[in-house]
Amino acid sequence: MQTQTQPKHEAARNPVPLTQLVRGQRGRIECTDSASDDCSVLRAMGLRPDASIQMCRLGEPCIISLSGACGGGCRIGLAKDIASRVMVHIDE
């Protein structure tokens, strides 16, 4: 009998929507060509591809902490619909 779950090492490689992170969980932003408009907005806010983030609060707005930006870290609020389109590789 096969299971539908992915091995932990494979799951870490597959990006998930930012809204699937739990409070305190860390990850890295991924931008794809299919979300180029979102990527432009995110880059303007300091969320470059591969940026290290931590989930501070889910909801409206979704609040994340951007590590290493602004000389030490800052928090950014994202509307839930935008946050659901931001893909993240979860850190283990």
Matching CATH number, 12-90, of 3.40.50.460, 3.30.2270.10, 2.30.30.90, 3.40.1480.10: 2.30.30.90
Is the Cβ–Cβ distance between 86 and 29 less than 8 Å?
yes
Question: pLDDT by residue (tens digit) across 29-71?
Answer: 887 655 567 778 788 888 888 889 999 999 899 999 987 655 5
Domain boundaries, the chain: 12-90
Q: How far is C-alpha 74 from the geometric centre of its chain's CA atoms?
A: 15
Task: Report, in angstroms and rounded to the nearest whole number, the Rg of the chain calculated over CA atoms.
Answer: 13
Pairing of strands 26-30, 87-90: antiparallel
Question: pLDDT by residue (tens digit) across 68-87?
Answer: 655 557 899 999 998 998 89
| Planar angle of CA 69, 70, 74, nearest 5 degrees | 75
| pLDDT of res. 35 | 56
pTM: 0.74
